[in-house]
C-alpha cells in the first residue's frame, strides 16, 4: 500500500505585520547606570622643599709650609692627628738661625758700648763747654756721635728681634684647632719659605673640622626660592641622622657653564665626625606653595599610569593625571586636573570610559 502524505498550506502573513518574540527573549537591552560618589579637587598651602646635592668641606683648610727656610729636621704630627692652636707641627734646622742671633746680639752690645762712650763724652763736655774750655764745635761733634750711637743701638736691637723671630719660626705651629689631613714630605727635605714654582711647598695640611659646611648647588631656576637663613636638613652618606642647618652663604655668581648657583649650610661637627669630601644632600624648607589635592581613593591605576574619572554630562570620562604623595590619605595633582572639576571618588561597579553614572543618594 502506498501512503501519500499531503501537508496543508497556511496563508502567508500579511506584509509588515510583526512576528511575536519567542518566549524568554528580551526585545530591548537596558543601559547600565553606575551609582557614584564624587569629590572636587581643592587647593591647599603645602610645605615645600628644595633638594640640592653637594660636598662637605671643613671651615678652613691650610697647607702649612716653612716660615724659616732650611732642611726639615723633625715632623711632629701624622695624618689623622688632632692638634690644638699653637701645637708644634714641624721644625727646620736651627743652627744657622742660632748663629745669626748670637751675631745680632754681639752687634747690639757693640752699639750699646758706643752709646755709653758717647754719653760719657757729652756728660764730660757739658760743664766745660759752658766755661769755654771746650769749643762749641767739639761739643757738637760729641752730641752728634751720641745720636749716631743711639741709632746704631736701635738698629742692633731690631736685628736681634728679627733673629729671634727667625729662630722661633723654625718651629711651625698649628694656626687653629683641627686635624692633620695630609703630610707631603718626610724629614731631610729642604723647604723654602717662598713659592718656588717647583711644585708643592707645603709640609702638612691642617683642616679646621670642628665646624663644617655643606657646599651645595641648585639650578639657577631655583634662585627665586633661595635666600639667607632658610632652614633645612642635611643628609650625609654613612650617617643615619639628618643634621639641622640653615643657609649662611648664598653665592651671587651663577656658573655660566653648569647654570648652577652655590649656597652653603654650616653646622657644628664635634670630634670631626663628618669628614670633608663626603657627599651630602640637602632638603631646604622654602616658602609654602599652593597645591591641587585629591583623596587617594579617587586615583586609579598603578606606577606611572595613573588616572581619574571625571563627571561629564552624567558620564564617566577617563583622564590621565600625574601625582605625588602627600600622606596616606591625600595626593597632589601635578598635571591633568584643574580646580573645580568633579571627580568620581567611589563607584558601585567598575567604571569604564563613557559609562552612565548618577550620584548616590545622600
Give me the pLDDT at residue 362, please: 54
Tell me: the pLDDT tens digits for 262-287? 999 999 999 889 999 999 999 999 98
| DSSP of 35-55 | EEEEEE-EEEEEEEEEEEEEE
Give me the pLDDT at residue 197, please: 44
Name the CATH topology of 33-46+291-359: 2.40.420
Q: With contact defined as beta carbons under 8 Å apart, do 151 and 145 qualify?
A: no
SS3 of 344, please?
strand
Residues of the chain with pLDDT under 70: 1-31, 194-200, 362
Question: Do the two domains 33-46+291-359 and 94-169 of this chain adopt the same fold?
Answer: no
> In angstroms, rounded to a whole number, what is the distance separating the alpha carbons of residues 325 and 330?
7
Q: With contact defined as beta carbons under 8 Å apart, do 248 and 266 qualify?
A: yes
Q: What is the pTM of this model?
A: 0.64
Kindly list the domain boundaries of the chain, sorted by start residue: 33-46+291-359, 52-58+209-288, 94-169
Choosing among 1.10.10, 3.10.28, 3.40.50, 1.10.287, the CATH entry for 94-169 is 1.10.287
Range 52-58+209-288: architecture per CATH: Beta Barrel (2.40)
The CA-based angle 82-83-89, given to 5 degrees, is 120
Helix (H) or strand (E) run with residue 148 in it: helix 136-168
Percent of the chain at pLDDT > 90 equals: 63
Residue identified by cell 615645600 is: 48
Give me the pLDDT at residue 194, please: 67
Amino acid at each position: 500500500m502506498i501512503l501519500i502524505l499531503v501537508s496543508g498550506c497556511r496563508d502567508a502573513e500579511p506584509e509588515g505585520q510583526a512576528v511575536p518574540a519567542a518566549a524568554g527573549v528580551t526585545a530591548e537591552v537596558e543601559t547600565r547606570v553606575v551609582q557614584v560618589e564624587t569629590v572636587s579637587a581643592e587647593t591647599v598651602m603645602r610645605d615645600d622643599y628644595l633638594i640640592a646635592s653637594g660636598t662637605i668641606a671643613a671651615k678652613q683648610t691650610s697647607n702649612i709650609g716653612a716660615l724659616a727656610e732650611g732642611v726639615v729636621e723633625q715632623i711632629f704630627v701624622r695624618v689623622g692627628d688632632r692638634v690644638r692652636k699653637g701645637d708644634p707641627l714641624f721644625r727646620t734646622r736651627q743652627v744657622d738661625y742660632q748663629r745669626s742671633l748670637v751675631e745680632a746680639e754681639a752687634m747690639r752690645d757693640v752699639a750699646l758700648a758706643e752709646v755709653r762712650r758717647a754719653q760719657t763724652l757729652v756728660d764730660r763736655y757739658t760743664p766745660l763747654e759752658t766755661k769755654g774750655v771746650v769749643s762749641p764745635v767739639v761739643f757738637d761733634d760729641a752730641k752728634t756721635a751720641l745720636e749716631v750711637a743711639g741709632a746704631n743701638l736701635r738698629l742692633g736691637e731690631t736685628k736681634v728681634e728679627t733673629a729671634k723671630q727667625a729662630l722661633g719660626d723654625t718651629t711651625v705651629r698649628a694656626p687653629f684647632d683641627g686635624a692633620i689631613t695630609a703630610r707631603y714630605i718626610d724629614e731631610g727635605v729642604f723647604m723654602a719659605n717662598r713659592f718656588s714654582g717647583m711644585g708643592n711647598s707645603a709640609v702638612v695640611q691642617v683642616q679646621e673640622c670642628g665646624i663644617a659646611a655643606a657646599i651645595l648647588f641648585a639650578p639657577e631656576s631655583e634662585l627665586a626660592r633661595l635666600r639667607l637663613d632658610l632652614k633645612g636638613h642635611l643628609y650625609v652618606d654613612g650617617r643615619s641622622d639628618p643634621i639641622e642647618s640653615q643657609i649662611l652663604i648664598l653665592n651671587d655668581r651663577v656658573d655660566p657653564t653648569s647654570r648652577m648657583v652655590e649656597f652653603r649650610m654650616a653646622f657644628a661637627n664635634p670630634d670631626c665626625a663628618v669628614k670633608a669630601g663626603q657627599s651630602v644632600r640637602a632638603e631646604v624648607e622654602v616658602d609654602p606653595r599652593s597645591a591641587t589635592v585629591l583623596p587617594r581613593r579617587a586615583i586609579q591605576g598603578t606606577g606611572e599610569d595613573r588616572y581619574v574619572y571625571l563627571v561629564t554630562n552624567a558620564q564617566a570620562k577617563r583622564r590621565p593625571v600625574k601625582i605625588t604623595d602627600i600622606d596616606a590619605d591625600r595626593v597632589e595633582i601635578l598635571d591633568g586636573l584643574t580646580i573645580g572639576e568633579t571627580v568620581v571618588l567611589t563607584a558601585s561597579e567598575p567604571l569604564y570610559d563613557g559609562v552612565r553614572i548618577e550620584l548616590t543618594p545622600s
